[in-house]
Amino acid sequence: MPEANGKYIISNWQKKWARSNLFALVLLALSAALFLTTLFHVVFSAPFWLVIPLFLLLVSVLFFTGSLWKISIPNVARFLNSYFPELEESSELTLKPTESLNLLERLQRQKVEHILPELPQPKEFDRRLKTASVIFLISLIISFLLAKLPFSFRRAHFMPIKEAFNGTKSSAKPEVILPEIERFILKITPPAYTGKGNREQEKFTISAEDGATVSWEINTNKAVKQVSLIFNDHEKLDLKAANVEHTLWKIAKEIHNPGFYQVNLDGKISELYQVEVIKDLPPVIRIQSPKPSTVIDFGEPQKTLLKTALSDDYGISEAYINATIASGSGEAVKFKEQKISFEAAFNGHQTQYQLQKTLDLKALGMQPGDELYFYIQATDNHRQETRSEVYIVSIADTAKLMQMEGMANSLDVKPELFRSERQIIIETEQLLHEKDTIKVEEFKKRSNNLGFDQKLLRLRYGKFLGEENESNIGDPEAEGETSLSNPKDFSNAAKILDAYTDKHDNAEDAGFLTPETKNQLKATLNEMWSAELRLRTYKPQEALPFAYKALRLLKDLQQKSRAYVAKTSAKIAPLKPAEKRLTGDLTKIIDPVNQQDFKKPTDPNLALRQSATLLHQLKNGTGLGASSQQILRQTNLQLSSKAAAQPSVYLSAVTAFRKILAQINQPKNIREKDILTVEKAIQKMLPPVAKLPQPTTTNLDLGLASSYFKNLNRTNQ
């Protein structure tokens, strides 16, 4: 059909253009992925298979964010109008239906239909594909050249980038490699408990996990007879030749202790390289709830919510609750131990857990008066265990609170109108027991009376805190005395102030109580007030938990105020001073002779102090004798031992000290920078000087304990 001829041609060109742009997009993504993978391999020793996920990622980003391949047919028609002037801006007419065109537009469309088949394909359709092909070729060449760079160039230009990326200081001194070493690779295999994969590095300084296996692979530029590693100046590890030319040497070692080492290549020793061991810390347990000691009172649900947070360096493999229930008292106490597991699954890969567990005390078999002792134990992948503190949850024993043991006093000064908290609880439980057999009015009346009794008891204990005196409330005689209705009391200022001012008790008595006792007494009054409120509102069942808690707090206060005095019934023999006076035999009593040899204590830091003085002389250019040089060598041994334990602190000082000892006979060649480095390390090793004058601390026993043990050792000899 001639009508569809022009539209068909434009549609074909649109498909070719979109296909060309899509191929260009794929080539651009592949070029970028290839270049980045090679760069990561050179700088960070990344594997080459990283190009696949990186390519897929870049293609996805370019496909969904770019619009190069989104070319519509109207866009192609508009492009043809601008690219071919002979179309006379009329190519869009081929896309419209014939019925919608007028006579002039139909004639123009027929003209365009005859011109379109004769037009060549525009070069613009393949321009992006050609550009992408050139970019891909350049990326391929650059990636090949990067992969073939010599080791020395890669170390000089790319190693600082790697160290900066890893968080090391950019101003850190680069490693000095022996010139005979052409290339080397250190492969670190972390232990299984870390869950980490193998990694490679191109530097001799080691930072590995405790128990990691480090493999050295050293390539030399010429044949050598022997290559060895010297650890901490005393342990020697010989490398084995892996080829016939003796240019490839390999060895592996399991690292457990920090320190330093050197490379010995046919007697030529390198500088000191640090060995840092990352220790695995035990799990950390933080219990958020409950409190270290929790008491569940009467009426409260016999459950407690345990919330804890567990964390570890590499993963937690196991965690559980160790619970011990103590029931009974005295010699009849019984203990029952059991393990309670958490609902979380410990796979050994997760490093942090937020756990919670509801401990149902009734399901555990606890009764009133029993106590639950529990702690959390966690184990990490390295089989290191950590236990939390012991927490206590107890259920208040209401039967024990109702006993009179420890509450009776030989002198009872309580007035009869006051009822004790125990009596209020007994009558409240009796009222609840008779609730169904009495009338509602009688029930409310008795509940209100119990609330009034609770109020009187609360006011009685409130006097100890200096609270308001409400003892005269409701007294008609007292109200008549302060009433202002009597004409005789007109203009009586004293009675007016007495009626309209708020009078308080003397609060000085409250100062005799300790702050802890005050706080517990206030808590008791709060519980009494809560019980009174519910008794006044005819809810005795809800008042019982508050009354029981008030009784428990009162009993604790009374037990704390008790004083225990031990009874003594010693019988002393009668003295006879007249018969025994001056009749003893003193012939065997001799003067005590105490002979002790004191050795002057040696100062273990004497060599360090002397070395500080000798280094100052070297700084001034003064030569040293043989004895002074021996002191410096002795200090070098102490500094090397310190560097083996803390290489990150003292390794640079050991290197500087060895340079000083190498030029000890030529003081002018010694650099002042090395002397300052060694002096700082010596100052760190020396103990701090005691500040004088300062007060001397003496033991409370005036040295009695030390004298006792000294004489005890003498008798044992």
* pLDDT tens per residue, range 238-281: 999 888 888 899 999 999 889 999 999 988 888 889 999 999 89
Residue 564 pLDDT greater than 60, yes or no: no
For the ranges 17-21, 160-164, 454-458, the one whose mean pLDDT is highest = 454-458
Answer with the residue of higher pLDDT: 605 or 66. Answer: 605
pLDDT digits 0-9 by tens, 389-430: 989 998 887 666 655 544 444 334 344 444 688 888 888 888
Residues 6+ apart with CB under 8 A from 548: 297, 298, 299, 396, 398, 401, 425
Whole-angstrom CA distances from 394 to 356, 360, 541, 554 are 19, 12, 23, 18
DSSP string, 208-275: EETT-EEEEEEEESS--S-EEEEETTTEEEE-EE-STTS-EEEEEEE--S-EEEEEEETTEE---EEE
CA nearest neighbour of 155 among 120, 184, 195, 118: 184
Whole-angstrom CA distances from 580 to 275, 576, 577, 584, 586 are 81, 6, 5, 8, 14
| Mean local confidence (pLDDT), 479-489 | 58
Helix (H, G, I), strand (E, B) or coil at 537: coil
Residue 283 pLDDT greater than 70, yes or no: yes
Q: How confident is the model at residue 308 (pLDDT cuts 50, 70, 90)?
A: very high
What is the fold of 284-396? Immunoglobulin-like (2.60.40)
Whole-angstrom CA distances from 379 to 247, 494, 705 are 47, 77, 42
Please report where in the chains the tokens 């680069």 appear, as a residue.
174
CA nearest neighbour of 419 among 451, 394, 377, 397: 451
Question: Contact, 451 vs 530, CB < 8 A?
Answer: no
Give me the pLDDT at residue 76, please.
67
Q: How confident is the model at residue 481 (pLDDT cuts 50, 70, 90)?
A: very low
- Two tokens at 337? 């131990």
Give me the pLDDT at residue 660, please.
85
Q: How confident is the model at residue 577 (pLDDT cuts 50, 70, 90)?
A: confident
Give me the pLDDT at residue 89, please.
62
On average, the pLDDT of the chain sits at 77
Residue 484 pLDDT greater than 80, yes or no: no
Give me the pLDDT at residue 695, please.
67
Please report where in the chains the tokens 């105020």 appear, as a residue.
561
Give me the pLDDT at residue 282, please.
92
Taking the C-alpha atoms of residue 262 and residue 640, their distance in angstroms, rounded to an integer, is 13
Taking the C-alpha atoms of residue 144 and residue 140, their distance in angstroms, rounded to an integer, is 6
Decide if 176-278 and 284-396 have a common fold: yes
Taking the C-alpha atoms of residue 218 and residue 453, their distance in angstroms, rounded to an integer, is 93
pLDDT digits 0-9 by tens, 103-137: 666 666 677 666 676 676 676 777 778 888 888 89
Residues 6+ apart with CB under 8 A from 594: none
CATH of domain 176-278: 2.60.40
The vertex-397 CA angle with 392 and 402, nearest 5°, equals 145
> 303 - beta bridge partners?
360
DSSP string, 630-669: HHHHHHHHHHHHHHHH-HHHHHHHHHHHHHHHHTTT-GGG
Give me the pLDDT at residue 334, please.
83
Whole-number percent of the chain with pLDDT over 90: 9
pTM of the predicted model as reported, rounded to 2 decimal places? 0.54
CA nearest neighbour of 211 among 385, 387, 384, 386: 384
Domain ranges of the chain: 2-147, 176-278, 284-396, 413-482+494-560, 606-685
**Amino acid, single-letter form, for residue 436:** D
- Candidate from 83-87, 317-321, 602-606 with smallest mean pLDDT: 83-87
Residue 285 pLDDT greater than 90, yes or no: yes
